[in-house]
Amino acid sequence: MPADTIVGYLIVGVGILFVLGLVFAITSRQAGPGGRPRPPRGVHLPNPSLLPFIFSVGAAILGAGLALHGISPLLYALAAVGVLVIAYAAVAWVRAAGREWHETERGPHDEAPGH
């Protein structure tokens, strides 16, 4: 196996572990002393968001950087940008879900206008 393939796999693996670690750190902070909390009444599908799209754009940038590295070694920087975009989208997505959770806990969401 060529060395550049190994480097590509390492970048992807480290990126995946980094994103999973961030998600774990953010979500474990929100859990109280009683273990995993149950969703409050009124939790439903999330609001429309561009974050899944941003996540997939980051994955495409990462893939392009790794696939095209033979043209120029500088395209590894493009892969690194992809990892950063994926990390940003993952953290923002988890935070958005946490905000909605807390908003639902604070008030009667089902009685809001339009619901």
* Residue tagged 């990892």 (tokens): 83
Please report which confidence band the pLDDT of residue 33 belongs to, taking 50, 70 and 90 as the band edges.
low
List all residues 6 or more positions away from 60 whose beta carbon is below 8 Å from its beta carbon: 82
Tokens of 31: 């859990």
pLDDT, tens only, 54-86: 999 999 998 888 888 778 778 888 889 999 999
Contact 43, 102 (CB under 8 A): no
Nearest partner of 26 among 84, 100, 93, 102, judged by Cα: 93
Contact 69, 3 (CB under 8 A): no
pTM of this prediction? Answer: 0.55
